[in-house]
Amino acid sequence: MSAIATAGSRPLVNLTLVRWHLTASAFFMIVSMLGGLAYSFQFNQLYPFPGIEWLSPGRVRMVHTNIAAYGFIANAFIAGLLFAIPRLTKKPIFSDKLGLVIFGAWQLILVLTIVGQLAGYGQAIEWGETPVFVDPLVLVGLVLLVINMSVPIFQTEEPGLYVSLWYFLAAFAWTGLVYFMGNYLPEFWVPGTAGAAITGLFIHDLVGLFVTPIGWGLMYFFVPLLLRKPIWSHALSLIGFWGLAFFYPMQGVHHFLLSPIPMYAQYGAIVATIAVEIVVLTVIVNFFGTLHGRSEAIRGNLALRWFYTGMIMYALTCFQCAFQVTLTFQKIIHFTDWVVGHAHMVMFGVFGFWIYGFFIELWPRAVGRSWATPRLLTIHYWATLVGLTLMVVDLTAAGLVQGFLWRGLSHWGESVISSMPFWWVRTFAGLVIIGAQGLFVYALWATARQPTEATQTAPIGAVTEPAS
């Protein structure tokens, strides 16, 4: 293919595209967080834009979650894939031009999503609130992305597919299917209770079959690279992948437990959820096995520190999930802030943290300069960690208070008033988090604008490829 013929003159990794996607990710991270913060102020009766239709809090909430997923996370993941896949396959992506088109299309999708939702065209599908007119674009964008990224995987002459690539390929198959299912079936064809089963599946699969496999795939790539040693156990990698592939897609209904959805589907989802927690444990054991004997690296290498902090959060969320999926817990915690705490712990505490690790590793390469302000990065790490932990602990406690007050049949206002201190703490935690991200964005900017003669970087662990 022509792409291959020119490969000699093309650099393996298209660092320009990596840089652009990282920049977009940082930009949309701030947009999403400002939305979350504004919405959080609504709960303190201090919404900053009252009475403005286009900034109606409900609409801003849709922007917050959708832009977090498709702006912050997806852009950073695309940057990670653009870096990892060529390195693992020794082949560049299919086409750099197509890469540019995808970049542009994706940002257009995000802008249209924000504008559409603020104008009142959000869809009533959690995490699929992207307006109906954006959905076909997303599907086209995803197909193009998959073509661009999977061609090198199919062309590679490496002797065997590395674990990361298993995850990426499976995610490529899953993402488009999941997006189509969630955005079209319950919106146009399947009403009511059965539609709820499908949106449950969508919420779950978007996390489980898009964010999770790409996140773990990138972990399998970066962690051995930075530790300069292979993954601890190949057998555990196999169990982890196939266990996830088998059990993850069967849990959708656990988002609507004790709803009118047939009970057999609810019980099935519960069993599959508990099964996947066991699988997840094997993955975590594998990564801590890999770390064993090299744990001092966590101190010296900030990227690794983000990765392993994220993994600890992952272990915590999964542990939490195994309990909260039981009907006993559901009685109290469902519909409360407990779930919001859980969502932030996994989406931000795990995947957001991993993304910061990617930034630490990729940004210096993408801009060809070493980090200008390493100390700021350490402050960013601690402030973000403290802010998020505070937010999660606070929301979890708030959830218990709300759940028990409801069950005790106190006046609804009681639960609102009792939640107020917790909502203040959330706003405070949000301010800490967003302040930390302000420092981070400054660090990105300061690094990029250093004069070129600054030392060409070779970030830690840059030289070796992971064993495949």
Partner 1 sequence: MERFGASFLIAGVITFLLGFFLQGVMPVLTLTSIPTRTIEEMASPVTSHFVQLAVDYPEEFARDFGEVSEATHAEALELGRDVYVAEACWHCHSQFVRPVSNEDLRFGPVSSPEEYQNLMNLPHLFGTRRVGPDLSREAGKHSNDWHAAHLYAPRSVAPYSVMPAYPWFFDDNKRPNKRGLALIAYLQWLGSWIDDSQLAALGDGGMQ
Q: Which residues bind ligand HEC (CB under 6 A)?
A: 42, 57-58, 412, 416
CB of 266 or CB of 384, closer to ligand HEM = 384
**Residue 410 phi, psi dihedral angles, 5° rounding:** -75, 165
Binding site for ligand HEM (CB under 6 A): 33, 36-37, 39-40, 61, 64-65, 68, 72, 339-340, 343-344, 347-348, 352, 430, 433-434
Q: How far is CA 330 from CA 318, 325, 326, 400, 419, in A?
A: 16, 7, 6, 11, 19
CA distance 82 to 12: 10
* Ramachandran region, residue 368 (left: φ > 0; alpha: ψ -120 to 50; beta: rest): left
Q: How far is the CB of 406 from partner 1 (least distance, A)?
A: 6
CB of 85 or CB of 118, closer to ligand HEC = 118
Q: How far is the CB of 450 from ligand HEC (least distance, A)?
A: 44
Residue type, 203: I
CB of 121 or CB of 428, closer to ligand HEM = 428
Reading the block at residue 295, the tokens are 């744990």
Name the residue among 251, 270, 447 with its Cα closest to residue 360.
Answer: 447
Q: How far is the CB of 328 from ligand HEM (least distance, A)?
A: 20
CA distance 62 to 110: 12
**Residue 169 phi, psi dihedral angles, 5° rounding:** -60, -45
Residues 6+ away with beta carbon under 8 Å from 314: 280, 284, 346, 350
Name the residue among 226, 371, 386 with its Cα closest to residue 299.
Answer: 226
170 binds, among ligand HEM, ligand HEC, partner 1, none (CB under 5 to 8 A by kind): partner 1
Angle between helices 337-344 and 302-324 (to 10 degrees): 150
66 binds, among partner 1, ligand HEM, ligand HEC, none (CB under 5 to 8 A by kind): none
Q: How far is the CB of 293 from ligand HEM (least distance, A)?
A: 32
262 binds, among partner 1, ligand HEC, ligand HEM, none (CB under 5 to 8 A by kind): partner 1
Neighbour-count burial of 456, counting CB atoms closer than 10 A to its CB (0-12 exposed, 13-18 middle, 19+ buried): exposed
CB of 192 or CB of 230, closer to partner 1 = 192
148 binds, among ligand HEM, ligand HEC, partner 1, none (CB under 5 to 8 A by kind): none
Q: How far is the CB of 399 from ligand HEC (least distance, A)?
A: 15
Q: How far is the CB of 126 from ligand HEM (least distance, A)?
A: 7
33 binds, among partner 1, ligand HEM, ligand HEC, none (CB under 5 to 8 A by kind): ligand HEM
